[in-house]
Structure 1
Amino acid sequence: MKKTQNVTIKGTKDGLTLHLNDLCSYEDLKSELKHKLLAHSSVKDVESPIITVKIQLGNRYLTAEQEEEIKDLVRAQRNLVVDEIISNVVTKEAAAKAKLENEIVPVSAIVRSGQVLKVEGDMLLVGDVNPGGTVIANGNIFVMGNLRGIAHAGHSGRRDAVIVASNMVPSQLRIADCLNRAPDHYAKEERHEMECAYIDSSDQIIIDRLQVLKHLRPNITRLQGGF
């Protein structure tokens, strides 16, 4: 009877991928991984370049301590560095965080001067943002009203986030780490059509017609799926 391999090493153009069996015991996995890494390292020349390693866990969950043990086994071998560890298993905490970050939070309010309204996911504000008011979201911001204050989308670093408003006349726009102070004509001129703001290929915040969003951010539509 052929023995099941607990560790499979495959070379790719980006380095090595280690596929770890998710059905064996953790101790058996460590033992075989150490043996195979030693055998693989012994055929390498001392001057071999650094090789990045991706570790595929499948349906196995590792604690933070176990992950460090696996990383140490890889790093102990010459020229190998761990790039990432990938698992199909998601903890309850991670799932709850992802759900929160992807929720659309509806709010009916007027954000007045000095007020700050912040949500974890996408913000759908039915109301106005007055001058001096601030709205912040880790995801996208949709304002069904006048945006005259400050809007900061992608607060956690999402550069694909967008800002949409029925009347886009902001004092300042921010998306992730990009900032755009509105031109003078935006502060004075009422624009009676919905517009959107996004980061373009040159890392600038661009204000454009709403219609461009379906081409620039096709994944913004969420008709399917959910948690």
Structure 2
Amino acid sequence: MAAVPGSDRTPSWKGTMITASEKDAVSFLQIKADRDGFLLIPHPEAPLRDVVQALKQKIEDSRSFFQRSKMILDLGKRAFRIDEVQVIRKVLQVTADVVLAEVRLGEDLEPVLKWASEAVGVPVRAGAGQRPSGELADREMEEKPGGAVIVRSTCRSGTRIESPADCVVLGDVNPGAEVLAVGDIVVFGSLRGVAHAGMTGDRSARIWALSIEPNQLRIADLVALPPRSGSRGGSSPKRFEVAEITADHIEVVSV
């Protein structure tokens, strides 16, 4: 197995579904089965071009197997970069109509917090909030005085998260789950539950997600219900989607 450029030793981690033609590609990328779909795991230090090449090879070699499936991008120790997520998402969609359903991050949240800060226009820091009334374990949620609430898991039905600042969810918000924040809400997955940003009246608050298909959206005092099935054309957004108040109503756009 070839060593990853920039590394002084041969990678010791093993992939699944490896064929002779994938011998080099495994150094850059793994695809594993997961209870929520397929896990796509890029090497933490491999150049994006090598990750993309390996991804195309794996998908094309097993196109019928992966066709129209869902994948979860598990970055692990790899730094979060929005441009890389967008490239990988496009490759999956174009190559085999694969849906990028979720992005999972590792312990280092600084890159994602920096991106969130630039996106929302105010500092976003890991931090405090009330404990959820659902069954999230303590390790799945960071609580530090004076900042955003960071939820390190998918919010399942029955979970309720309340944040006195911004709220960042590193997973999906499923139907039946609620996320409420005084500031913005950022979801690194699909938003299909209820989200209420600016809950104390801030109409400049926004709701961000890979895909926004909620039970209900609320920003400040305004409420929006999802359109009827199929009315959005059935196409996946090219990038993140954002809900914001425009002309006294809530509008969802791709950014």
Fold shared per TM-score above 0.5: no
Rg: which structure is higher?
Answer: 1
TM-score (structure 2 length as normaliser): 0.40
TM-score (structure 1 length as normaliser): 0.45
